[in-house]
Structure 1
Amino acid sequence: MSKALKVITLAAILFIHCNAPRSENRNPASAFPGLEQHLELTQLATYAIELREPSGLTINAEGSALWTVANNQRVFKLDLQGRILDRLAYKGKDLEGIVYDPTDSTFWLVEERSREVVQIDADGNVIFSQKLALGGEENNGLEGICRDPSGTLYVVNEKAPSLFLELNGEKAIKTRLDLHFASDYSGLFCGLEPNEFWLLSDQDEALIRWDRQNGKTQTYKLPFSKGEGITVDPISKKIYIVNEKMAHLHVFEFSIPPP
């Protein structure tokens, strides 16, 4: 190859590299604030969802789609404005919570009355189910589920008693904590910092950030009741909450106020 041709080839490679589309950095660790940072929440939009009593919410790894469960005990895929894109095959009994597992594109669900954790594939076929050893009133059972970056699952029991549960590898209860900082607990999201969790309280109309290790909390009053599902996209700094009563998707943006 001549020297001139080598130069032209190298220039072409550099041009292609410099002009290739860049994918968004989806590493959330660099964008996610710890609990030591107090956040400001700004409501951006509210969208109607054409479902009855949506409850539970999760987002995919790309931050491009949401999933929720509804009163007809089905799992629905939504766009970021709450429009229905798809329905999965699984039909539950009393679905309340859902979380996406990016390692295999499956979903983990909680059934409130049966105290059951269920794993389904991307089409809605059951892969695994496990009943948790919990008592209490049937209608005050499991309300939320989340998965931390290490793959550990956590669930929250609504009230009477209000419980935070860490599950082991067999999806049985490993750690059980009584919760006392809200009237009830209706949604759960795992933060990216160790021991940090975001919870909804339907009765208190609040979003609460909680550090499991030191017990510290930050509470944000919401302009609505019946918040029943929460997920957060740390890259876009968006918080998505479903309102069960009004069948609305509320979108907030979080920011760190200047010192």
Structure 2
Amino acid sequence: MKNRMKKRKWMIATLALCALAGASSVQAAQSQLEAQAVKFNVFSNGQAVSMDKEPVVIDGSTYVPLRAIGEALGKQVEWNEWTQSIRLKDQPKVAAVHEWKNPPELTGSIKEGGFSGLLHMPSDPEDVFYTMADRGPNGEFGKDKLRTFPDDTYVPRMYKIKAANGTIEVLETIKLHLPDGRKDVYTGTSDVTGMPNLQEGDEVPYDGTGTKKLGYDPDGLDLEGIAYSPSDDTFWLSDEYRPSILQVKRDGTILGRYVPQGAKDKLLAAGAQTDIYDILPAAYNNRIANRGFEGVTISPDGRYLYTSIQSPMAVPDQKTGEKSRNLRILKMDLSSKTVVGEYLYIAEDASMFRNVKQKDIVISDLSALSQDTVLVDERDKNAGDEAQLKRIYKADFSKATNLLGTADSEQVEALSIEQLKAKGIAPVSKELVVDVAKLGYPHEKLEGLAVVNEHTIAVVNDNDFGVDGYDEQGQLQVNQNPTQMYVITVNEELK
């Protein structure tokens, strides 16, 4: 494009431009101004600064993109759409990368992996964590993308791990099972599986060849998050299928499954053996398939549990949910086992990124800092150089609107930011803590998140057990994508 004068309306807050020279007034920002694109070479410490937009001259002053300059100076730059503000912080650093180098085989060439959540207990050494895997190896077969389960007897499990010296060591494997005397209808034993629960609302399961339909397991679990309750020494896990949250003993015994109202009778009719409590709002029955509860966390004092839906729900329909940016986070009082809050979290706008669809911006995990403050893992589904959104935000619930039981809760997915403001609905506030994509993180799934100490967090990827689809001959493909933990230090205290 030739350098020539063009009339444009320049909004300083939206464009996030930084004046480098001159003293023109920003009060003219919203008026029609003459702007001239220019080609300047900008250097920082002898290195050329890469910019996605050319500098411009407006009213005799030169402006360059603030993000490019800030990052060149070692700053992390955040634009907050809701508050119309910009924050600059010192860039976080990767302190260590640890890898599960020799995972055991599950079936054929498929190995263990699939870390989908992460937990660090303050009483444990800083290199010891708990994590868990999801529903086991699965893929999509053929043009119809049939959901396959190459290992249909896979038992969902938790791991106690040590991450040190570049290696992830499994200290203990804890498989989930029903209480004594109960038998899962799929396995015929106390072990549960990762198979879908019901014909209604779940994917149809096929074997690893994509040619044979398999059965359903009403006690089956697709685990995605892990938290710990210090008051009774139990774990709480989030599940995508119903969606549900589960209370589990340290030995893997399932004590209870908490589901949306209306789901209990269907599960029991299908033969579920788990103790089921239908206390969650009925709207969560409208989760999009494979997009149920993803993150779960408990406040450090053990009082409150938070759990997040992975992406906006099909309210009133799936088309609306896939276009929406509005995700829900529930709050439970653990002493009474009752839901006491439902809050709105606004995901980033997909139009601000390249080759990203709104339905593919999701929440992957949570980690509580206090009763009202939670770290949120938000990501796109791209990997490597294509990844743009792998971020950890600090979300403050203290001034957010509690939507639980309100009429607005019945329509929140369909509301725009302008409509939310007009209704007086305040989402949880967001403050960027770490832009992990800027730190060279190579994986698609920024899946597990844990706070190690006041200046350190850890994240893990879900490598999907290495399953990489099917070739033209219908053979399952397995890649070498590893299971890794990134340990990241931040300058500002996490609180």
Class of the TM-score when normalised by the shorter of the 2 chains = 0.7 to 0.9
Distance 1:177 1:52 in 2: 32
Q: 5+ residue gaps in structure 2?
A: 1-86, 104-111, 137-155, 177-191, 193-219, 261-281, 314-326, 349-360, 381-388, 400-427, 464-481
CA contact (8 A) 1:191 1:198 kept: yes
Superposed CA deviations along residues 24-58 of structure 1, whole A, max 9, x for unmatched, are xxxxxxxxxxxx99675221111113342210111
Match of 2:307 among 136, 147, 155: 155
**Is 1:216 the equivalent of 2:425?**
no
Structure 1 Cα separation of the partners of residues 345 and 305 of structure 2? 17
Q: Are residue 227 (structure 1) and residue 446 (structure 2) matched?
A: yes
Task: Select 2:93's aligned residue among 27, 38, 42.
Answer: 42
One-letter identity of the residue aligned with 2:328: L
Residue identity in the other structure for 1:78? I
Matches within 5 A, 1:103-114: 103-114=231-242
Equivalent pairs: percent with the same residue? 21
Question: Partner of 1:256 in structure 2?
Answer: 492
- Report the alpha carbon displacement of residue 165 of structure 1 after superposing the two structures with TM: 0.7
The equivalent residue for 2:149 is none
Of residues 141, 155, 173 in structure 1, which corresponds to 2:292?
141
Paired with 2:460 and 2:227, the residues of 1 have a C-alpha distance of 14
Residue identity opposite 1:140 in structure 2: R
2:246 is equivalent to residue 68 of structure 1: no
Tell me the secondary structure at the aligned position of residue 290 of structure 2: helix
User: Within 2, Cα distance between the matches of 1:202 and 1:39?
Assistant: 21
Count of residue pairs brought into register by the alignment? 220
Say which structure, 1 or 2, has more relative contact order (CA 8 Å, 6+ apart).
Answer: 1
What is the letter of the counterpart of residue 165 of structure 1? L
> Shift in Å at residue 76 of structure 1?
0.9
Kindly name which structure, 1 or 2, has the bigger radius of gyration based on alpha carbons: 2
User: Match for residue 181 of structure 1?
Assistant: 347
Deviates more, 1:116-125 or 1:213-222: 213-222
What letter is aligned with 1:74? R
Counterpart among 231, 253, 261 of residue 125 in structure 1: 253
Equivalent in the alignment of 2:183:
none
Alpha-carbon distance in 2 for matches of 1:180, 1:256: 24
Relative to structure 1, is the Cα distance of residues 149 and 37 closer, same or farther in structure 2, using a 3 angstrom cutoff? farther
How far did residue 100 of structure 1 move?
Answer: 1.7
Instruction: Note the C-alpha offset of 1:229.
Output: 1.1
The question of 1:77 aligning with 2:160 is answered yes
| 1:125 CA displacement | 1.1
Q: 2: CA distance between counterparts of 1:149 and 1:43? A: 25
User: Secondary structure of the residue that 1:255 maps to in structure 2?
Assistant: coil
Q: Please, which of 198, 202, 206 is the counterpart of residue 375 of structure 2?
A: 198
Equivalent residues of 1:188, 1:198 under 8 A apart: yes
Change (3 A) 1:37 1:167: farther
CA change 1:145–1:211 in 2 (3 A) is same
Q: Relative to total residues, which structure has the larger strand share, 1 or 2?
A: 1
1:131 positional shift = 1.0
- Contact 1:99 1:147 survives alignment (8 Å): yes
Q: Contact conserved, 1:130 with 1:172, CA < 8 A, in 2?
A: no
Distance 1:202 1:84 in 2: 27
The answer (yes or no) to whether the contact 1:40–1:256 under 8 Å persists in 2 is no
Worse overlay, 198-207 or 48-57: 48-57
- Provide the residue aligned with 1:18 in structure 2: none
Provide the C-alpha distance between the structure 2 equivalents of 1:252 and 1:186, rounded to a whole number of angstroms. Answer: 17
Give the secondary-structure state (helix, strand or coil) at the position aligned to 2:362: coil
- When residues 101 and 184 of structure 1 are mapped into structure 2, their CA distance, relative to the original with a 3 A threshold, is same
- 1:241 aligned counterpart, secondary structure: strand
Residue pair 2:129, 2:161 contacting (<8 A) in 1 also: yes
**Alpha-carbon distance in structure 2 between the residues aligned to 1:39 and 1:79:** 29
Contact 2:296 2:308 in 1 (8 A): yes
Structure 1 segments (4+ residues) deviating >6 Å: none
* CA apart distance, 1:127: 2.0
Verify: 1:89 aligned to 2:184, yes or no.
Answer: no
User: Conserved in 1, the CA contact under 8 Å of 2:330 and 2:342?
Assistant: yes
Q: Is the 8 A contact 2:306 2:332 kept in 1?
A: yes
Relative to 1, partners in 2 of residues 1:37 and 1:67: Cα closer, same or farther, differing over 3 Å? farther
Aligned match for 2:230, one of 90, 102, 118:
102
Residue in 2 that maps onto 1:55:
116
Please say if residues 148 and 190 of structure 1, whose CA atoms lie closer than 8 Å, have aligned partners that are also in contact.
yes
Mark the runs of 5 or more structure 1 residues left unpaired by the alignment. Answer: 1-35
Could you tell me whether the CA contact under 8 Å between 1:197 and 1:209 is conserved in 2? Answer: yes
> What is the DSSP-based 3-state SS (H/G/I as helix, E as strand, rest coil) of the residue aligned with 1:186?
strand
1:127-150 residue CA offsets vs partner (Å, 9 max, x unmatched) = 222113312212111001000134
1:182-213 residue CA offsets vs partner (Å, 9 max, x unmatched): 33211101113x42110111212111111123
